[in-house]
Amino acid sequence: MGVVKALLLAIALLAIALTYTYALTPQMSALGLPLSIDAVEPPALMNLMHGEYWALELLKLSACVGLIKFCLRQNAG
C-alpha cells in the first residue's frame, strides 16, 4: 500500500468522525429527545441510524487495520 492510499484512509477516518459529530449524532439525539420512560419501542428511523453507526464503525476499524499494516511495513522495511 502506498503513501497515497494511507493518506486516503486517514482522510476517510476523519470524514467518519465528522459524520458522527455533525450528522448522525445530532439526528439521533433529536429522535431520542421526545422519548419518554413509557415509550415501548424507539422509532424505526432510530434503528436505521444505529445500523448506519455500526456500519461506519466497521469501516473505521478496517481503515485502522489498513493504516497499522502500512506503518508496520514501513518500519520493517
Flag whether pLDDT at 15 surpasses 90.
yes
pTM over 0.85: no
- Dist CA 49 CA 43 (whole Å): 10
Q: pLDDT tens-digit profile of 39-76?
A: 677 788 988 999 999 999 999 999 999 999 998 998 88
Torsion of CA 70, 72, 74, 77, to 10 degrees: -130
Kindly state the percentage of the chain with pLDDT values over 90. 60
